[in-house]
Structure 1
């Protein structure tokens, strides 16, 4: 086979220039003819997929819309300006209204990403299977506290618990009740707590967060049977959940408000946060911040630490404090791993 002749620098430069011109022309080309669009109206984003989104207009009509290239961020829950097509059932999203709240998560490749917008209430879902973990709950609570959005805790799958385990976990959750968190014991299977959960969600935009396998989709189906979300089973071998939701979607609740079901909130890394902010996100630490002997106190074995003194006096729960130290330690490990230089390829 004849070896292909290598392109010259000039040829490569011309190819690159032509490619840039084509890409620019594609970007400058209008999505649709503006004359074929109706007047601007408000709408809410139900879900997004690529350069399109499903929106719901104020009259309840759902439309598949194209997204203007000037819109650089769009997620479920966003309030948008929308123009419907005069010729078909489509339309165009022109702009996004300012968000009153955002739920974000860090991404190793894209930085901090917005998961959902305009949320009023975050429900942290846990369960006895996979194994109950107060540290995982604390991680979600930190992320929720950082947003300033109201947050509650849901212990799902209570039908799987023995009376002994129920008493044990209820005692563990009492710590959170004393800190002012609402705690709901629920079961999508037996319907325990489902009505209470629905009442808490009424007339708000809500989101369920929690690790895979805790039954978030099952709870959504219990609250909204018409949603028909696929439910995942917990692996018998590993005990780990099989995640089932593939795209964020805003679902309307019967009693008003909405529920966002999103795959982007299974896990919350915290490595993008400052340790001082994490400390503030612990409700029981806030009044003590700034009262330590040393300004750079790490709240570990530092002399004159107000937090460890409160711990010794029984004013701070030992498990919560242990979780705090482990979370701070893991954040440092994750930040270090992001700055390890890759070895050059041979």
Structure 2
């Protein structure tokens, strides 16, 4: 049973989530959209404004009538650091973005390295933090299995078994959260697609790296009991890891493997739609992949196949939304 402090937190988080959509709202709009009374909205808005979390400004709406007080997020009050590491076209890539809690990208750094270890991530993160002292949370997206804050089964060997959450949170003196990159991309794609009834699977086929998938239904990610779900590169291809990676270095040799992966996804998950992405697939490949699937799966059971050239923007949406979910959660630890 929730006490009055819990109810107050729920109410204030309703207003936060609305304003963190990066839009302006009047007090009347906020009351209408949250279901809270005008007096409750007034009290909570004053509190948020006193904490510099939001800003209230008088504006003339639609250029008619008297000026009305409207509220929006104060993007200078608090920021989010998004860190991503991945293999891109065989290159080790580190991406650091500073976001406002309204989702705006305030600063972006993308760099490739021959050797990408924890010390490098720490160094680059501390440089960003020195420039943005109001960063209050760090979200890490990695090509790995996040095992209680430890990087496991990572495409970047020098990051394997690094307890990055504990080490980086100590170094930066702020909360750090680690998540699988495909989980965040599918979460972002789900947020943007606004279709909660479909079972959606994202399938990523990068060059010279193992493929990965992520499935989401009604906002819930299928993560597995060990967060291992989606590591489709461990299917029994009757090839050694080295042989498999060699085949995944060229589009022609990779295509039969991609078709087998899609057939496996359909057989095991039966999604409504599959979005294919990565350097090894193009939009023109979808017809051939669908034809391959029809050789073993009846056509009426085939999902829609779509192509996305790049999931980067969806990853950023997923990281932003993940940060909001953690910030607005009533629990000490948030799970998808």
Higher share in helix:
2
TM-score (norm 2): 0.28
Structure ID, larger Rg? 1
